[in-house]
């Protein structure tokens, strides 16, 4: 008797990422599955897949964020429960797709008696039954080593670069908001044929999300300056850098970032800043109260869809990005 092994693909989504997951499935030409997520009266989450996923390659999409009155921790717990349910439903391979990976900034001990929560999160997904992790623009490349399995680190750079090319002109300067983002900023300069500038900053040691920009290295006077970062949270870092760039004589200040966290005072800070335009991606949902004229949203659905297709077909993911997604 000859046994035929037909690979089966299932893509499902948590409640925090349904719009993005729908766009991903549209790119794949494949329907979005239903995990039938419900809540008990006390808030406990229940998952039951609506169809058999036995022997399937299952991709579980959930970005780690607050949404509709729920916290980022609710999104993570929901993600873990979906992974566990898939494992117990005999999925052949389970891939966690977290466009925005939660707790990524807690990737090391900055001082004594602190956790490394990014590592804890990876361990939890592994314990739940995940075989593989896919994410976009991790805050730190070392997080790839936290998960004891294959990690596909995607980058939104191709989407952002294509959009920035439309700005045109020979006066473009890519500005790194701190020394830690210089390597990424240099990649943008290579693709855009732009110059590089760096903001030197000092972060307050006794307060969270408080940053004081100090000085800028590079020529920005009379130029169109694009600040590049992986995320905007409260907006303190990027607005302080933008103000410094503007004070140094920049003609235009534009921000390009992957993850629009936009917590607390972020929207007010962006509204009242020298920033002309904020270009973000849809790794995180943007609720109506955060949709202002300055913010422009680009989709990473095509990139994630290509990565899912490559993983399913056992082909190279890094070739999609020319190897520039590895750090």
- Catalytic residue numbers? 201
The predicted structure's pLDDT at residue 238: 95
What is the spatial distance between Cα 249 and Cα 158, in angstroms, rounded to a whole number?
29
* C-alpha angle 33-35-41 in degrees, rounded to nearest 5: 150
The predicted structure's pLDDT at residue 201: 66
pLDDT at residue 154 greater than cutoff 50: yes
pLDDT at residue 303 greater than cutoff 90: yes
Which pair of tokens denotes residue 164? 């920035």
**Which of 24, 100, 12 lies closest to 58, judged by CA?**
12
Domains of the chain: residue spans and CATH: 9-155+301-321 (3.40.50.2020), 157-298 (3.40.50.2020)
The predicted structure's pLDDT at residue 212: 59
The predicted structure's pLDDT at residue 7: 86
The predicted structure's pLDDT at residue 210: 64
The predicted structure's pLDDT at residue 324: 74
Per residue in 165-194, pLDDT tens? 988 777 999 999 988 899 999 999 999 999
pLDDT at residue 110 greater than cutoff 50: yes
Lowest mean pLDDT among 17-31, 177-191, 194-208, 250-264: 194-208
pLDDT at residue 269 greater than cutoff 60: yes
The predicted structure's pLDDT at residue 1: 40
What is the spatial distance between Cα 81 and Cα 48, in angstroms, rounded to a whole number?
10
Answer whether 155's CB lies under 8 Å from 325's CB: yes
What is the spatial distance between Cα 218 and Cα 221, in angstroms, rounded to a whole number?
9
Per residue in 209-255, pLDDT tens? 665 557 899 999 999 999 999 999 999 989 999 999 999 999 999 99
């Amino acid at each position: 008797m000859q046994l035929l092994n037909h690979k089966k693909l299932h893509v499902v989504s948590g409640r925090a990422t349904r719009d993005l997951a729908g766009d991903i499935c549209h790119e794949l030409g494949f329907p979005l599955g239903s995990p039938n997520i419900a809540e008990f009266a006390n808030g406990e989450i229940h998952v039951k897949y609506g169809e058999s996923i036995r022997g399937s390659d299952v991709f579980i999409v959930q970005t780690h964020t607050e949404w509709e009155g729920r916290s980022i921790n609710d999104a993570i717990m929901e993600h873990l429960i979906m992974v566990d349910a898939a494992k117990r439903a005999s999925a052949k391979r389970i891939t966690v797709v977290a466009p925005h990976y939660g707790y990524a900034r807690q990737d090391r001990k900055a001082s004594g008696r602190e956790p490394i929560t990014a590592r804890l999160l990876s361990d939890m997904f592994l314990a739940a039954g995940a075989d593989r992790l896919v994410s976009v623009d991790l805050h730190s490349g070392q997080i790839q080593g936290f998960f004891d399995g294959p990690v596909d680190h995607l980058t939104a750079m191709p989407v952002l670069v294509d959009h920035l090319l439309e700005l045109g002109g020979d006066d473009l300067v890519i500005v790194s908001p701190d020394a830690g983002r210089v390597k990424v900023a240099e990649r943008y300069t290579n693709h855009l044929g732009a110059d590089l500038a760096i903001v030197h900053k000092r972060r307050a040691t006794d307060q969270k999300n408080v940053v004081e920009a100090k000085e800028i290295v590079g020529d920005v006077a009379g130029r169109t300056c694009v600040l590049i970062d992986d995320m905007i949270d409260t907006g303190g870092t990027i607005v302080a850098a933008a103000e410094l760039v503007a004070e140094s004589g920049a003609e235009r200040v534009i921000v390009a970032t992957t993850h629009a966290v936009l917590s607390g005072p972020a929207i007010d800070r962006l509204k009242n800043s020298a920033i002309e335009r904020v270009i973000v991606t849809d790794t995180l949902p943007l609720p109506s109260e955060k949709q202002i004229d300055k913010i422009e949203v680009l989709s990473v659905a095509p990139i994630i869809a290509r990565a899912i297709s490559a993983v399913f077909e056992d082909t190279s993911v890094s070739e999609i990005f020319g190897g520039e997604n590895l750090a």
